[in-house]
Chains A and B, each alone.
Chain A
Amino acid sequence: MTELSNLCLLLVILVNFFALGSSRLGACIHAVALQGAVLALLPLATHGLSVHTLLLAAGALALKGILIPWLLLRAIREVRIRREMEPLIGFVPTLLLGALATAGAFIFADLLPLIDAHQGGLFIPTSLATLFAGFLLLISRRKAITQVVGYLILENGIFIFGILLAEAMPLMVEAGVLLDLLVAVFVMGIVLDQINREFSTLDTEQLSALKE
């Protein structure tokens, strides 16, 4: 089973890089949907088949893999945006930073005070790398849609961390995380709509026009 989970985690990291390096919004959203679907496999691969893990996997697949990407795809169709133009940090530098963050996460995971069962596995470094990739997307992009994608990737990183604790963590907490995510996406959707209506653009740079 470890091989399967390692394969999934490697796939997650590859999707991170794809999201960091791609300028097409549609491709980004599809990649995140793929990442969500792969993540839905992870609880089954690590903890075996049980009601708890099945529920977790189904929830993750439904939300991360289908519902939220579908909402986002609908949003970009409505506002007619295809590409992320002029990011704050260019695509190649973002990729390089992402590579650095991933390498750093692998080095860093060895230094963390973990219990022996989690020591040396791919879970912790992947979780950290995904977290930082999400942050990088949030920091470096202008379009609100890409920032939502960054937020989703960030949340995926936390989810990977959460899987390690799936045995110890009650279902309620997992559900809380997913609900949190859903609410955040809805709020962002409303904000997107408002930005679009007020400024006829989804560029968040306009948001700082009101600062002192």
Chain B
Amino acid sequence: MIWFVAGMLLTALSGVPGLFADRFGRGGERLACLLVLAGTASATGGVIAALASGAPALLTRPWSVPGGELALRLDPLAALFILPLCLVVGGGAVYGLGYWPQRDHPGNGRRFRLFYGLLGAAMMLVLAADNSLLFLFSWEVMAVAAFFLVTTEQERAEARRAGFIYLVTAHAGALALFAMFALLAQETGSLHFPAAASLAGGSATLLFLLGLFGFGFKAGLMPLHIWLPIAHAAAPSHASALLSGIVLKTGIYGLLRLTSFFAVIPAWWGWTVLLLGVVSGVFGVALALAQHDLKRLLAYHSVENIGIITIGIGLALLGRSFGMSELTLLGMSGALLHVVNHGLFKSLLFFSAGSVVHATGSREIDHYGGLLRQQPWTAVCFLGGAVAICGLPPFNGFVSEWLIYLAAFGASRGEGLSLRLAVLAAPALALIGGLAVACFVKVFGVTFLGAPRSAAAAAVHHDAAPSMRGPMLTLLLACAWIGLLPGTLAPLLQSAVATWVMPAKAVSLAAPLAPLPLVGATGWVLLIYLAGLGWWLHRRTRQAPRDVSTWGCGYVAPTPRMQYTASSFADSLVSQFRFGLWTERHGGKVKGLFPATGEFASHTPDAVLDRALLPGFRRLARGCSWLRARVQNGRVPTYLLYVALTLLILLIVTAR
């Protein structure tokens, strides 16, 4: 535990020495990176030591805040969230050396590193806190530090807008959490977290709904995801990786910690969570398919993956209410493994997307093209991440989605028709997976294949710097490790699920995870098959000329502009979801036999933020100002009427 605390402090203070360093020198950023690496390594060591000891590690110190206590607790559930956090935070610090060097960003580099370390440490504290006040304290530090990361480039209006919306949503969520923890303290009589499965009855429903709202805002569940796309797009790529890979997961962690407190779970909780998960998954991936901005697209994929995780949690909750421990184990271990996996592959994707953005200076997918030749490392890493996020073997996404599929099918063995309906989560998952594959075929094809579509893409002549390549390869290896050797994680998953359910029931949970090594073996077979196929193809095409463009159907003068664009590729799928996306189309109509030069553009704003919330609030503001003009109308008799009415109301109030 002492190692964990030391690591947390080192990470938190990593940006401080850099504040005194030279404005253009490299010393400050190297020292910060070194401190973050030492901090995350030390924290990882502390977590592993705590896991090896078998029992949850505890630390309690008095705190002068009333009701507060510096209580930390490292159990397997928290460990599963902290371990990928350490990897991503450490990797991001190294990545930042090449992506956001001090000499290129003298204005905001030092501030960025200060809040980067603070965010990492605050998240560690959130995940380890065992006291409501400490949790809320670190939650707020996390929210504010993330705000400063989002607004790193505060001179741009886009970043300021993203930061504003992020701040509003973060505090709306935090408000619900304040209410929830106050209610929880009333229920248990102390601000210390209650033991697992110790709460029964009382205001459980209100607690759950407040928690779902507050944590859902942070996690980005579908109607509450509004801050995600703009914030992820505006932040620098390694900050986006941290936001998407880890910060969202603190919301999931909070939801899991909250539900673990209750002894009895009503069935409708599970149904609500399951339904929210399906909606987030399907509409997240559909919105992602319609985007042209690479980082915005990845952000919508975060919504989708949060949906998959939530489907797993919903199934596990149903398993608990119906007393099916197999369903609980499969759903929850799938969700937890997907938390880890998404943290890894989404960071990998953001890192490689950052490498592309860094090289071309644009986030528009249609400005890329043909980058595979100039950036082979980035392309391989992006491909690995894309395969993983689509849930295909041999990478890690397959394993966790497979577990959730098993849970969904397991629901069909339940008693009663209502539980069997949960089987419908499986086709929803399949739809999500299929759309994700289509989306990443689009992204990879348009970005890395074909011919360059813009001058900037044609001018790219260097791959990612070694300091950026290293973290990407590390994350790729971690993805492959979980995909090929999933059995190594089974014990940790089991104990984490046991922490969530109730320690006493742990014995009956071992059997369903047994086929995990088999899944790994499938991955190996596929890998060997692919390697053989690649070798065979390579031999067959050895003599073929290399620099030939794609066959242009006999057209004599093809140009790069004739390639599929991102929107034309996705259009056939996007138009199926017109009922939920409302894509705006401009132009594209051809008139007459010899039409003049025409233009076509499509644009998909966010369904909740841009279609509902912003117009709604604008109308509300207009209504309020209209009302004010009516009330405050400048006529003396009206004011006298108010006086008379006030008198009347006062008289009525005082009447017996």
Contact = CB atoms under 8 A, between A and B. Distances in A.
Interface of A: 88, 108, 111-113, 128, 131-132, 135, 138-141, 204-205, 207-208, 210-212
Nearest to A132: B644
A108 B643 contact: no
Given A112-B656, A138-B637, 14 more contacts: A111-B656, A113-B655, A131-B647, A132-B644, A135-B640, A135-B643, A135-B647, A139-B640, A139-B644, A140-B637, A141-B637, A208-B635, A211-B633, A212-B634
Given A113-B656, A132-B644, A135-B644, A204 B633 contact: no
Interface string B633-655: 11111101101100100011011
A205 B636 CA distance: 9
Nearest to A107: B655
Interface string B484-511: 0000000000000000000000000000
A108 B635 contact: no
Nearest to B636: A204
B641 A208 contact: no
Per CB-CB distance, the 3 closest pairs between chain A and chain B, nearest first, are A211-B634, A111-B655, A135-B644
A211 B631 CA distance: 13
A108 B655 contact: yes
A108 B651 contact: yes
Contacts of B655: 108, 111-113
A108 B129 CA distance: 60
Say whether chain A's binding surface is mostly helix, strand, loop, or mixed. helix
Interface in B53-80: none
29 contacts: A108-B651, A108-B655, A111-B656, A112-B655, A112-B656, A113-B654, A113-B655, A113-B656, A128-B651, A131-B647, A132-B644, A135-B641, A135-B644, A135-B647, A138-B637, A139-B637, A139-B638, A139-B641, A139-B644, A140-B637, A141-B637, A204-B636, A204-B637, A208-B634, A208-B635, A208-B636, A210-B634, A211-B633, A212-B634
Interface of B: 633-638, 640-641, 643-644, 647, 651-652, 654-656
Contacts of A113: 654-656
Interface centre among A113, A141, A208 (most CB of B within 10 A): A208
Contacts of B638: 139
A211 to B, nearest CB: 3
A98 B418 CA distance: 65
A4 to B, nearest CB: 28
Contacts of A138: 637, 640
B627 to A, nearest CB: 15
Contacts of A205: 635
Nearest to A140: B637
A94 to B, nearest CB: 12
Contacts of A128: 651
Contact of A112 (B636, B637, B654): B654
Nearest to B645: A135
Contacts of B651: 108, 112, 128
A124 to B, nearest CB: 11
A135 B648 CA distance: 11
A204 B655 CA distance: 35
Nearest to B638: A139
Interface centre among B635, B638, B640, B654 (most CB of A within 10 A): B640
A135 B644 CA distance: 7
Interface centre among A111, A112, A139 (most CB of B within 10 A): A139
A208 to B, nearest CB: 5
A139 B638 CA distance: 7
Contacts of A131: 647
A212 B641 CA distance: 21
A74 to B, nearest CB: 24
Nearest to A111: B655
A132 B647 CA distance: 10
B242 to A, nearest CB: 49
B236 to A, nearest CB: 46
Nearest to B635: A208
Contact of A207 (B633, B636, B644): B636
Contacts of B640: 135, 138-139
A150 to B, nearest CB: 9
B641 to A, nearest CB: 5
A167 B380 CA distance: 99
B637 A88 contact: yes
Nearest to A113: B656
Contacts of A211: 633-634
Nearest to B629: A212
A208 B655 CA distance: 37
A138 B638 CA distance: 10
A140 B635 CA distance: 11
Interface centre among B641, B643, B644, B656 (most CB of A within 10 A): B644
B635 to A, nearest CB: 5
A210 B636 CA distance: 13
A108 B641 CA distance: 19
Contacts of A208: 633-636
Contacts of A212: 634
A108 B633 CA distance: 31
A81 to B, nearest CB: 18
A86 to B, nearest CB: 13
B503 to A, nearest CB: 63
Nearest to B637: A139
A94 B651 CA distance: 22
A135 B643 CA distance: 9
A26 B637 CA distance: 22
A207 B644 CA distance: 21
Nearest to A89: B637
Contacts of B644: 132, 135, 139
Nearest to B639: A139
